[in-house]
Amino acid sequence: MEIWRTKDGSDLAVIAATWETNPKITFESLEAEFRNNPVKAWRNYGSRVDANIENAIKDPDVLLRHVNTARSSPWNPAREEFFLWFRGRPGFRHFIHFDLSKSGDSTGVAMVHRDKERKGVVVVDFMVQIEIPMGRNIDYGKLRERFVYELTSRGFYIELVTYDQFQSDETRQILEEKGYRTERASADREPTAYDTLIELVLGSRLDYYAYPVFIREMQELIWNGRKYDHPRKGRNGKPGTKDVSDAVACASLMAIQHELAHPLPQGGKLRVFQPGRQWAQPGLATLERF
């Protein structure tokens, strides 16, 4: 426990761990919180906020252990398009996030949905890193065509599209005019998106395939005392990035927050009127409501 006092003595501040100030809470009772996300737990319960740079995920191999090896990437990098087998299914609401680049950087795009059969599981439908040549500007129109419109044509119901930059206002307006819901979201303004993503990963509640960029970015992700960030230089000798992990983090957070506020109706039985007959008996026509 630490006690701080202003120079004139008018204000006091007490910095202490939760278990030091609340007799009903012990360090052992918070075991699950520290297991799910140690960085977040020390910040929220241990009052440990410093400028020391540390790995956000202490065991980097966990990213490899939790990969769903039965899945493969639906994105064809040679043709820069989705494979033909990548199709939507009725009853699922999908969330897309664009982590937009500046000139010379890369853009991250990801789409996720909540699993209806596995409680609390978020499925990463796809994640892609798009390299932007030095000096070139982002082609917002191509991003809309390649991802939002194309995926809609493949049967995916896009519930929400989010962007991380103010420069996206025009493309958001275009999407909204076509009936899409859009919002602005960022993994940099506050730690919530990455707190959520790390808990999903460590709790085996993120269903993702082996995408090397995402795995590397999560393994190299650091906490600098204020926010989650990438290292100045990655293990591959190139400048560190986190655009794909940003996209997955924001899309996952939006999916969880939105569906907590707007849950899917539960399936039930409907009586269907058939002309020339009385109302059908319950059970003769069973429809799943979404």
Segment 148-169, tens digit of pLDDT: 999 999 999 999 999 987 678 8
Residue ranges of domains in the chain: 1-49, 51-261
**Minimal CA–CA distance to 98: which of 215, 202, 29, 186?**
186
User: For domain 51-261, which architecture applies?
Assistant: 2-Layer Sandwich (3.30)
Please determine, for residue 20, whether its predicted confidence score (pLDDT) is greater than 80. Answer: no
**Chain centroid offset of residue 7 CA:** 44
Q: Please state whether 27 falls in left (phi above 0), alpha (psi between -120 and 50) or beta.
A: alpha
pLDDT for the residue 289? 37
Mean pLDDT of 276-287: 39
pLDDT for the residue 273? 44
One-letter amino acid of 151: L
Mean pLDDT of 91-106: 83
pLDDT for the residue 185? 92
pLDDT for the residue 232? 85
Instruction: For residue range 211-232, list pLDDT tens digits in order.
Output: 999 999 999 999 887 889 988 8
Name the more confident of 116 and 263. Answer: 116
pLDDT for the residue 23? 66
Q: What is the mean pLDDT of the chain?
A: 80
For residue 66, the tally of other CB atoms under 10 A from its CB is 17
pLDDT for the residue 101? 72
pLDDT interval class at 286 (50, 70, 90): very low
pLDDT for the residue 10? 60
H-assigned helices in 55-205? 62-65, 140-143, 150-153, 169-177, 192-202
One-letter amino acid of 74: P
Instruction: For residue range 231-280, list pLDDT tens digits in order.
Output: 888 777 888 889 999 999 999 999 999 888 877 665 544 444 444 444 34
Please determine, for residue 201, whether its predicted confidence score (pLDDT) is greater than 80. Answer: yes
- At 24 the three-state DSSP class reads coil
Please determine, for residue 94, whether its predicted confidence score (pLDDT) is greater than 80. Answer: yes
pLDDT for the residue 8? 61
Instruction: For residue range 31-79, list pLDDT tens digits in order.
Output: 666 566 665 555 555 555 554 468 889 898 999 999 999 999 999 999 9
pLDDT for the residue 134? 67
Please determine, for residue 285, whether its predicted confidence score (pLDDT) is greater than 70. Answer: no
Q: Please state whether 88 falls in left (phi above 0), alpha (psi between -120 and 50) or beta.
A: beta
One-letter amino acid of 95: F
Q: Is the pTM of this model over 0.85?
A: no
pLDDT for the residue 274? 45
Q: What totals of helices (H) and strands (E) does the chain contain, helices first? A: 10, 13
